Chains A and B, each alone.
Chain A
Amino acid sequence: MKKQVLSCTVNDEAVEVLVRPYTTLLDALREDLGLTGPKEGCGTGDCGACTVHLDGKPVASCLMLAMQARGRSVRTIEGLAKTGQLHPLQDAFVRHGVPQCGFCIPGVLMAAAAVLAENPKATEQEIRYGIAGNLCRCTGYTKMLTAITEVAGASARGEG
């Protein structure tokens, strides 16, 4: 099984890396590119911990082969904001005391960012369904909803 060349864009940078054909996108990001933000919680698309953006859309990266990302654009939690800065969602999560164990957080933030990118004035119900693919065992989701709704509201008011 020869390795194959994966050429794509990751977090706004052109990337060219040799990957094994049977490597998932999640594993390629974590092990070949050192981006360990996306996590494996189940490997079967049932928990959302591996959520990344593919051409701006939230996907379960554990269900994609790395080579399926060829020629496309991938964004992980590490690329949600510019280095040293925080995306408004990240900032809101910190202020509201959202992260507990932290394992689900990168996936939740990527899902939430996708909801707001598609629908900046999303209602709480729409946000709820937008992160329904992300399991969290520590927080009970309430503070997440509060934080994301606050950012959506701020954008509705033209702030942040």
Chain B
Amino acid sequence: MAVMKTTRDIKGVGDPIPRADGREKVTGAVQYVADIQPRGLLHAKLLRSPHAHAKIVRIDTSKAKALPGVRAVITAKDMPQLKKKAPTRAHAVLAIDRVVFSGQPVAAVAADELAIAEEALDLIEVEYQVLPVAVDPLKSMQPGAPPVAEAGTEADTSEALAHSAVALTSSETKPAKAVNISQQATVKRGDVAKGFAEADHILEKTYRVPMVHQGYLEPHAVLAQWDTVGNLTLWASTQGSFNTRSEVADVLEIAENRIKVIPVECGGGFGGKIRALCEPITAELARVSGKPVRYVMTRKEELEAGMPAPQVIIKLKTGVKRDGTLLALEADTILDTGAFSGTVLAVSAVFLGSMYKWPAFEIRGMEVLTHKPSVAAYRAPGAPQTIFAIESHMSQIARELGLDPLEFRMRHLIQEGDPMVNNQPWQSNGAKQVLAKVGEHPIWKGRKEWAASGGKDGRGLRGTGFALGGWLGGLQPTSATVRLNPDGSLNVLTGQVDIAGTNISLAQIAASAFGVDFDQVKITTGDTDSAPLTGLSAGSKTIYTVGSAVLQAAQDARRQTFEIAAKEMEASVHDLEIRDNKVVVKGAPDKSVTLASIGKKGNLYMSKVQPVLGTATPAFSQQAPGFAAQIARVEVDPDTGETTLHDFVVIQDVGKAINPLGVEGQMQGGAVQSLGIAMTEGLMFDDSGRLMNPSLLDYRKLTAADLPNIETIIVEVPSPSGPFGARGVGEPPIVPAPAAIANAVEDAAGVRITELPVTPERIALARAAKGNAS
């Protein structure tokens, strides 16, 4: 029999407990949307435009409808609620009379078999009148560029606020100007001209990051079914069932409470499964055919017509004194958002100007529409690209002035209370502590020896680099309930989609807050009918917000439990504690009542005792920024540019590691996504707006053979506002690697790559251009 535990010894916050669904996942028992196979299931396929910009002259679906096994064929004509000026990508369910990106859906089919649906697509005749395209954002932003949106498109910043609660105030935001510029904002402080005039050293570089795909292994998938009285059920792979419900209701113009979204196990999202994409059309096919319809995107469709991260171009100019004193920073950031507005413009400004104490800055940001698939969030949206620019720049400044790059940063690093670019003060953060750990690490300390060992005895060129990045942490109101069962166990209900393994942490939080062992707690993710309103599983805010809600609900349940016990034992609530599943009077251990008895009384016929139901519905105003630094040790083949990553370290401030096992997994996974952006990934479009690499053969994600084991160092600088001091964990680790790699490659091979990914080709050709033989 297990030893009885005191509240101090309970297994809860801080323990590396494997997640509860681990066993189901390793046996293949967990079900994803594509695994659900109801009777009578129909399979959906979408016909997509091959052209990036074209008028639709004519669509003839008659031959497709006549193919045996086809149960529904839909075009925009069949959906009168669709608007010509689609306010968001989700509203552009099927193109009405114009397509604005290659891959845009034009017709939809539901058939008995997937193969029949594919053949039906072949039979749909579409006549297009091809129009001029705007693909390159630098060209698209010029006057006279082919227009992307219908006139009057407004910037869409609603999702942005959930990710990163930093908005630029209305006085700083200007209305959209030229044809394809959909958002524009400038922040400034001080006199940059004066700063540059006084500078000893000026560095001006342009950094480019292509569109990248979130890369989740499970493609978008949804199963839709209507009942006979007009209620829709959606089994969806989504990061936010309530958001999905709202968007689908809005697009299809039906009431939200007529839709039930069941969040099925999600095979990765990373921001790409927040906005509705496939749900409206699948629901419509189900309505028209009267059968359950399932739509699973192919990998080709995901790459061609998903919702990737924006292409980013940053022109950065800095002025500093010879001794490294910062004087002025000026930047132009261009975010290529594809065919619909949706980038988080403010993030770029914050990370360019707020990491270090620039006395004068002017940062101009612009979102540009192009004839490409529109974007959505990707894990710390805007931050990897922006940090690539500023952290590449800082290392170059240090190198050119002969300064130590770590000491240079440390000297100018922001602290709590310093103003960000929008004059909001920095919250408490661990940036300094994280940076300090870089200096202590043997890989950083041994960088000279590593470099000296390279370039001889058949070895490549060796170098080391690092970068600092972070994420401010998103905010969103949310709710949770905690219920005491008749046997003394607890049920916690949220609508939170458990992608990152946060459910186990929520159980640990509830257990620690209420006063029982974590294995007394069951966490349930409810659907939109049964769960209380819950926010997105995104923005690194799940533990921060939902964890807080669970904490508060558990505390509420504990309070209610004490009130009942106090009445029974004629004691004061202040004298009570919970130990070994009993409510005990402190100092009088034989005066106790079991949790089970309290729970039973709340469910007993004729009982006057209320059931214990703790609730919490918090909203949040304070963020808890999380910083991460990454160190890369590389070896570069001097002739082919092939780069081997020997070691990679992630140092991250998580405030409080509720579950260290889960936290490490987030740090390692985010780091490898960051390395993908750094070294191999990018969506490549040709001049006509077609994707040149629509497969995983040519859209390269890193494999186990390309990587070393990722070393993780957890730093804990508690946040005053997070549950048990926790900060958001998921996003900071995707931020620093591109700059760390570019810095390491410069150290090793003597070339500065300012365009991602840092490929062997770019390195080899840069070296050849430089005429370098070392």
Contact = CB atoms under 8 A, between A and B. Distances in A.
A–B touch (CB < 8 A): the answer is: yes
Interface of A: 20, 22, 30-31, 34-44, 46-47, 49, 76-78, 80-81, 86, 90, 93-106, 109, 128-129, 131-146
Contacts of B697: 44, 46
B111 to A, nearest CB: 14
B669 A137 contact: yes
B19 A99 contact: yes
A141 B28 contact: no
A132 B704 contact: yes
Contacts of A135: 217, 696, 701, 703
Nearest to B733: A140
B298 A43 contact: yes
Interface string B569-585: 00000000000000000
24 contacts: A30-B35, A37-B27, A40-B296, A42-B299, A43-B299, A47-B696, A86-B26, A97-B19, A97-B501, A99-B19, A99-B25, A100-B499, A102-B25, A103-B268, A104-B217, A105-B25, A129-B705, A132-B705, A137-B701, A139-B668, A140-B665, A140-B671, A141-B672, A143-B664
Given A37-B28, A100-B500, A105-B26, A44 B218 contact: no
Contacts of B19: 97, 99
Given A94-B22, A101-B499, A145 B696 contact: no
Given A36-B28, A141-B704, A42 B270 contact: no
Interface string B652-695: 00000000011011001111110000000000000000000001
A140 B669 contact: yes
Contact of B23 (A86, A103, A128): A86
Given A41-B299, A46-B696, A140-B671, A97 B26 contact: no
B704 A44 contact: no
B675 to A, nearest CB: 8
B710 A44 contact: no
B115 interface: yes
A117 B21 CA distance: 27
B704 A103 contact: no
A25 B25 CA distance: 22
A97 B669 CA distance: 13
Contacts of B453: none
B668 A140 contact: yes
**Which of B23, B218, B664 has the most chain A CB atoms inside 10 A of its CB?**
B218
Nearest to B667: A140
Contacts of B214: 137
Contacts of B21: 99, 102
B668 A136 contact: no
A90 to B, nearest CB: 4
Given A100-B665, A145-B709, A137 B270 contact: yes
A137 B26 contact: no
Contacts of A97: 16, 18-19, 22, 501, 661-662, 664-665
B79 interface: no
B39 to A, nearest CB: 13
A45 to B, nearest CB: 9
B219 A41 contact: yes
Contact of A77 (B27, B665, B672): B27
A100 B666 CA distance: 9
Interface string B1-41: 00000000000000010110111111111111011010000
Contact of B668 (A34, A44, A106, A142): A142
Interface of B: 16, 18-19, 21-32, 34-35, 37, 113, 115, 214-219, 265-268, 270, 296, 298-299, 499-501, 661-662, 664-665, 668-673, 695-697, 701, 703-707, 709-710
Contact of B27 (A86, A100, A131): A86
A97 B19 CA distance: 7
Chain B interface helix/strand/loop/mixed = loop
B438 to A, nearest CB: 19
Contacts of B668: 139-143
Q: Is the interface of A mostly helix, strand, loop or mixed?
A: loop
Contacts of A20: 113, 115
A145 B705 CA distance: 11
Given A136-B669, A137-B215, 12 more contacts: A41-B219, A42-B299, A44-B697, A86-B23, A93-B26, A97-B661, A99-B19, A99-B21, A103-B32, A103-B268, A135-B703, A139-B669
A96 B32 CA distance: 23
Contacts of B217: 39, 41, 47, 49, 101, 103-104, 135-138
B28 A46 contact: no
B593 to A, nearest CB: 37
A132 B265 CA distance: 25
A3 to B, nearest CB: 12
Nearest to B218: A103
Given A86-B26, A103-B32, A138 B268 contact: yes
B419 to A, nearest CB: 35
Nearest to A141: B704
A144 B695 contact: no
A129 B704 CA distance: 7
Nearest to A133: B703
* Leading 10 A-B pairs by shortest Cβ distance: A37-B28, A103-B267, A140-B668, A102-B25, A140-B672, A46-B696, A132-B705, A97-B661, A77-B28, A36-B35
Most chain A CB within 10 A, of B268, B671, B704, is at: B704
B27 A39 contact: no
- Report which residue of A40, A103, A109 has the largest number of chain B beta carbons within 10 angstroms of its beta carbon: A103
A98 to B, nearest CB: 8
B669 A100 contact: yes
Contacts of B18: 94-97
A132 B669 contact: no
Given A40-B34, A140-B710, A106 B28 contact: yes
A39 B32 contact: yes
Contacts of A37: 27-29
A131 B704 CA distance: 7
Nearest to B695: A44
Given A49-B217, A99-B19, A104-B217, A132 B703 contact: yes
A41 B25 CA distance: 16
A153 to B, nearest CB: 15
A131 B705 CA distance: 8
Contacts of B32: 39, 103
A22 B116 CA distance: 11
B382 to A, nearest CB: 20
A44 B669 contact: no
B59 to A, nearest CB: 27
Given A137-B217, A143-B665, A101 B704 contact: no
B707 to A, nearest CB: 6
A152 to B, nearest CB: 14
Contacts of A90: 23, 26-27
A81 to B, nearest CB: 8
A141 B707 contact: yes
Which of A31, A40, A142 has the most B CB atoms < 10 Å from its CB? A142
Of the listed residues A22, A43, A105, A140, the one surrounded by the most CB atoms of chain B closer than 10 A to its CB is A140
B620 to A, nearest CB: 25
Given A44-B697, A94-B26, A142 B710 contact: yes
Contacts of A138: 217, 268, 665, 669
Nearest to B219: A41
B384 to A, nearest CB: 15
A95 B695 CA distance: 34
Contacts of A94: 18, 22-23, 26
Contacts of B709: 142, 145-146
A142 B661 CA distance: 12
B4 to A, nearest CB: 26
Contacts of A81: 27
Given A46-B697, A143-B665, A145-B704, A41 B26 contact: no
Contacts of A80: 27
B30 A102 contact: yes
B665 A139 contact: yes
